[in-house]
Homo-oligomer: A and B are copies of this chain.
């Protein structure tokens, strides 16, 4: 085996560091599997003096990551800098333009500029790969791009953010509030100091935009997505979910119908028996449904140095073997701007909790509104307390369009007997 493929790694944080570690520790194994030695030839990071998990003294060091694109001997550039603009974008563009293959873990970059970058890769006869950008070590990108490619994909959904799943799992187990669990997650390193991207659903939305791009041949459309996070969820909802045989998960969901695609990230109640409800702690899990494969579920670690770097190096091996097929599975020019179905048109079941004063006529008022809006009640829970005190009325509905539920929500909120904001959670029965 004399062939050698030279790799430049931009960014030596969690993922980049993990990549250098795999390339070093599993070098012989990788050479056999890739059909060529994978040589870590250059790296770029801000702080050269920082201790690294592997010896990088023999590797070319570049202070400016963008310059990696100019190093002629490099075959593959690994981008783990992050961010959808700036140096990450410029490096990826420059590398592809020079005919170098690019492997990246950068979900924001691909969610926003994926179609243009894929086109650039094709024009230059090279590969753009981003398995690590979605669900870390879980091979969901390649599964959609290749293994399930025989299918008309109907839906793909699951848990794409480990931080939120960890927080929800802890809230469920301990009964603690979101704020308390978040604080603990930050202490343990499961959540960032600024948790916005994770807990507000943006990270999951980036990943979903990429999945939908491959599943439906759609141009990744982050802007049109409905995105809700988990900040406003209270332990009360998790308890009622439990009582209803469900768990609350931050769900990322996309589907295709004749009218367009659904693209949404929001908390949802999922029946406990569903594999997605059983994804616990910081793990991720994705279900794919297609017209021939029926339904497959992939679960595993959605983040972390090892799993994410495993996905990056998996992509490197595939590129080393010669795969230059289009990044989204079909030529970039054929990616369509599919219409995104507005959230008001979602059809499904709903959980509605109304904090009310327990007095005669309350239920009559509420049920009249539901009737007026054409919403059919599936179950109603009200645990007895003393008359005249505050109590929660919990209603689950049969399938109904979201627009109707929003009108119900606005109207019940105006009732005098409803003493605090009503809470609406979508129920998914996959």
- Give A contacts to B, CB under 8 Å: 18, 21-22, 25-26, 29-30, 32-35, 131, 137-139, 142-143, 146-152, 217, 275, 278, 290-301, 304, 306-307, 309-314, 316-318, 321-326, 329-331, 334
Contacts and interface: CB of A to CB of B under 8 A. Distances in A.
Contacts of A139: 139, 142-143, 146-148, 296
Given A32-B334, A152-B29, A311 B147 contact: yes
Contact of A317 (B137, B146, B297): B146
A312 to B, nearest CB: 8
A317 B331 CA distance: 14
B325 A307 contact: no
A292 B325 CA distance: 26
A22 B146 CA distance: 15
B295 A26 contact: no
B150 A142 contact: no
Nearest to A305: B292
Nearest to A150: B313
Contact of A278 (B21, B275, B296, B301): B275
Contacts of A295: 300-301
7 contacts: A137-B292, A138-B296, A139-B143, A296-B299, A297-B298, A297-B300, A322-B325
Contacts of A21: 292
A18 B32 CA distance: 35
Contact of A18 (B131, B138, B292, B317): B292
Contacts of A291: 25-26, 306
Contacts of A298: 296-299
Copies of this chain, complex-wide, total 2
Contacts of A310: 148, 150-151, 290, 292-293
B317 A294 contact: no
A159 B296 CA distance: 14
A306 B318 contact: no
Given A32-B217, A295-B301, 20 more contacts: A18-B292, A22-B151, A33-B329, A34-B149, A35-B326, A137-B292, A139-B139, A139-B147, A146-B314, A146-B317, A150-B312, A278-B278, A292-B310, A293-B301, A293-B307, A293-B310, A294-B307, A297-B299, A321-B323, A323-B323
Contacts of A18: 292
A348 B229 CA distance: 43
B294 A301 contact: yes
Contacts of A325: 35, 321-322
Nearest to A311: B147
B26 A150 contact: yes
Contacts of A26: 150-152, 291-292
Contact of A292 (B148, B309, B316, B330): B309
A309 B217 CA distance: 22
A131 B317 CA distance: 19
Contacts of A316: 150
Contacts of A321: 146, 323, 325
The CB with the most chain B CB atoms within 10 A, among A150, A275, A321, is that of A150
The CB with the most chain B CB atoms within 10 A, among A143, A147, A148, is that of A147
Nearest to A18: B292
Nearest to A296: B300
A138 B293 CA distance: 8
A137 B309 CA distance: 26
Contacts of A297: 297-300
**Those 7 A-B pairs whose CB atoms lie nearest each other, nearest first:** A296-B300, A150-B313, A139-B147, A293-B310, A292-B306, A137-B293, A292-B310
A299 B287 CA distance: 9
Contacts of A326: 35
A373 to B, nearest CB: 38
Nearest to A312: B150
